[in-house]
Structure formats: C-alpha cells, structure tokens
Structure 1
Amino acid sequence: MPVYVYSVVATTHPQRLDGLPGVGDPPATLRTVRGGKLSAVVSDAPEDLRPKRRDLAAHQDVQERLMADGPVLPLQFGFTTTDDDAVRAVLEERADALSERLRAVEGCTEYHLKAAQDEDSLLRQVLEESGEARALNEQIRSGANNPELPLALGELVAQEVQIRQDRLAASVVEALRPFAREESTSQAAGNDFLSVSFLVARDNEEGFRTSVRKLAAELGDDFDLRLRGPLPAYSFV
C-alpha cells in the first residue's frame, strides 16, 4: 500500500507520536519504518491528498513534535512512495548521507527571508545614478520621435535593476551569514529580489533576528523584509 513519509530521524530518537493524527480524512495512524540506524515516520497515504489546512497542520505538527526531542530531516508535504520496503531501502542505501544531514541540522532551525524594494523607489535610483538611463529618459520626455528609445531605456533599466538587486541580495546574505551554519538560496518570485533560507543554531537565533531587524532599519521604508521562522529545516534535507 502507498505510504506517506513525514520525516527521517535516528533510531535512537524518542519518536513520541502518541496522540498525533496523520494526514487524511479520517486521519491516518502514524508509525515508523526502521532501516539500520535510521527510522522514517510514515502513515498510509490517503487517496487524492490535497494541501488542505488540516493536512498541512498535521504534517507540520509531526515535525514540531519530533524536533522537540532531537534532530529531524523533514520531508516536504505530499511525499509518498510505494510501500514500507521502499522506505526501508532508501534508509539503508543512503544511511551515511542522511546521517550526515541529521548531524548538520542538530540543534538548528530554519529561517526564511524574502526581500523586495518599492518599484518607484528603484526606478528613481536608477535614473539618478545612471547617466545613460537619465539621458534616454530625457530624450523620450522631450518628444524625440524615435520608437527605439523606449525599448532601449527599458532594456537598460532592466539591466541596472538586476545589477543593483544582485548586489543588494549578496550584501544581505553576507551580513547574516555569520549567524548561520548553512544557507540555501531559491529563485525569488514576483517583486522580491531575495529568497533565502538560513540554518541557524538555537544559540544564535536572537542574534540572527536582531540582525534582520537592523538590516530592515538601515534599508529604510522603501524595502520590505519578511522573515519566517523558526521552521523545520526543509531547505537543508
């Protein structure tokens, strides 16, 4: 029967699962599959599983309960495989790599940071700092009858925006790196120029959060820094 996999822990982990419901309606019963020195927390996989609030919460509750007692490798919501034997085979075949990841996340939580800049503010910055962009903009505003000018300005502004956002993203990550064991950058979406996760030891959490607040104050009101955490270390499995 297909199984839903929540997370991987060491077999020495207490694995206190009593009273926790699994995903599905009615909720599936949690159990563990052991493979050598590792165990996976699983349940029967419900049919047509969707990311509903109750199921997302059940998945998250399992991670948080396990995290309270030791290091956990949390899988993303919705991970299923064929049966218990398939789970056991992965635990045994990838024992060294998974054990190394457990050691890496021990005593840590994940924080995810996204950052965006007000578009009007960014455009003003480009026009103030780029003489070429300013000249093109002035030609367009003066009524120059050249249909290629707006395209040229658009391309130039896009390049200048990318340069500035890449530089700013790098500086933000550099400022927070001393507080993290690891970092994992993902593709920013929408108006965001930064989407990055940090693996932060619990002893460094307060310093990390304080540094994010200081960065937000230094950048000013034209910037929007959004921090989520502490979270299970999904980005570092």
Structure 2
Amino acid sequence: MPLYVYSITAATHPCRLDGLTGVGAEPAPVRAITAGPLRAVVSDIDEEIRPKRRDLAAHQEVQDRLMADGTVLPLQFGYTAPDDEAVTQVLRERAEGYLAALDKVQGCAEYQVKASQDEDALLLEVLQGSDRARQLNDRIRAGDADPRLPLELGEIVATDVRERQEDLAAGLIEALLSLAEDHRVRAPADGDILNISLLVHGDDKAAFLRAEAGLAERSEDVRFRFTGPLPPYSFV
C-alpha cells in the first residue's frame, strides 16, 4: 500500500506516535518502519496528497512530536513511497548518509531570518545616494515618456538592493553565523531583501536569540522576521 513519509530518525528514537493520524482525506495512524539503525515515520495513504491546510498541519504535527523527543531528519511535504518494502530498502541503501545527517543536526533546530524594507524608503535612499538615479526619477516624474528611463532606474535600484543584501548577510555573519552550526542562503522573494536559514545547537539557543534581538534593535529601516525553532528542513 502507498505510504506518506514524514521523517527519518535513529532506531533508538522513542517515536511516540500514539494518537497521531496522518495526511489524507481518511487519515491513517502514523507508524514507524525500522531497518537496522534507522526508522522512517510513515502513514498509509490511498490518494494523491496535495498541500491542503489540514495535511500541512498534520505533517508539521508529526515533526513537532518527534523533535520533542530527539533528533529527526524532517522531510519536506509531499514525500511518498510505494510500500513498506521500498522504504526499508532505501533506509538500508542510504544508511550511511542518513546517519551522518542525523549526527550533523543532533541537538539542533532551524531558525529562519528574513528581512524587508519599505519600497518608498528604499527608493528614497537610492535617490539620495545616486545622482543618476535622482536625475532619472525627476525626468520620469516630469512626464518624460522615454521607455529607457524606468529601465535604467530599475537597474540602479536592483543593484542597490543586491548590495544591501550583501551588507545584511555580512552583518548576519558577524551577529548570528558565529552561533550557528551551518546556514543556507536562499533567493529572497515577495519583496524581501534577505532570506537565510541557520542551524543552531540547543546550547547556543539563548545567545542566538539575544543576537537576533540585538540585530533587530540596531536596524532602523529594515524589518527583520525571525522564525524558529523549527525542524531542520533545510539541512536534511
């Protein structure tokens, strides 16, 4: 029977799954498949699983339950397998890599840091810092219909945004990355100018949160959004 796969853990993980039901219109109990030193946490499914709100919540509930009791390799939403035998085979074939990954994230959680800046404030700073940008903006506002003007202004703004992203990343390296075991930088989306995930050990959690707070306090026109602790999705 097809399976939905949530996570991989060590075989020594307690996997307290009593009462948990999985994804799907008719959720099946969540259970574990053990193969040597590893376990896969799964539930039976009889349909294609789509990212509906209820299923996303069920997926995350399993991760939270497991993470509360030990180290876990959380899989992104949507992983499936044909049957128990296929899962067992993968656990055996990839045991070395999974064990190394478990060792890497042991005692750690993921924290996400995103940053954005008001577009009007950003444009004002660009105009204040670039004579050429200010000239282009003045011509556009005066009614100059030359289609090259907004293109050139857009390029100047985009370059400035990239530079700001690099500056923010440099600041994070100093303020946060020294407290992280690892990090992943992603392309910003939805108007953000920074998107980074950090792997932080529990022993460094308090210091990391203090550094986060200090970073936000020092930023006048940049709005930071901090999320965590989360299962270490980005580091599996």
SS of equivalent to 1:49: coil
Alignment-mate amino acid for residue 62 of structure 1 = V
Alignment-mate amino acid for residue 194 of structure 1 = L
Aligned residues, how many? 236
TM-score, normalised by the number of residues in structure 2: 0.90
Partner residue in 2 for 1:230:
229
Partner residue in 2 for 1:45:
45
CA contact (8 A) 1:23 1:46 kept: no
Alignment of 1:90-105 (within 5 A): 90-105=90-105
TM-score, normalised by the number of residues in structure 1: 0.90
CA contact (8 A) 1:176 1:211 kept: yes
Partner residue in 1 for 2:81:
81
1:215 paired to 2:222: no
Relative to structure 1, is the Cα distance of residues 139 and 64 closer, same or farther in structure 2, using a 3 angstrom cutoff?
A: closer
Deviation of residue 138 (structure 1)?
Answer: 4.3
Alignment-mate amino acid for residue 7 of structure 1 = S
SS of equivalent to 2:176: helix
Partner residue in 1 for 2:112:
112
* Structure 1 consecutive aligned stretches of length 4 or more whose deviation exceeds 6 Å: 142-145
Deviation of residue 147 (structure 1)?
Answer: 5.2
- Computed over aligned residues only, the root mean square deviation of the Cα atoms, in angstroms, reads 2.0
Deviation of residue 55 (structure 1)?
Answer: 2.2
CA contact (8 A) 1:34 1:88 kept: yes
**Bigger mean CA offset, 79-88 vs 25-34:** 25-34
Alignment-mate amino acid for residue 82 of structure 2 = T
Partner residue in 2 for 1:18:
18
Alignment of 1:144-183 (within 5 A): 148-183=148-183
**Bigger mean CA offset, 132-141 vs 100-109:** 132-141
Relative to structure 1, is the Cα distance of residues 28 and 152 closer, same or farther in structure 2, using a 3 angstrom cutoff?
A: same
Alignment-mate amino acid for residue 228 of structure 1 = T
Relative to structure 1, is the Cα distance of residues 172 and 44 closer, same or farther in structure 2, using a 3 angstrom cutoff?
A: same
Q: Which runs of 5+ in 2 are unaligned?
A: none
**Percent identical residues:** 54
SS of equivalent to 2:109: strand
SS of equivalent to 1:161: helix
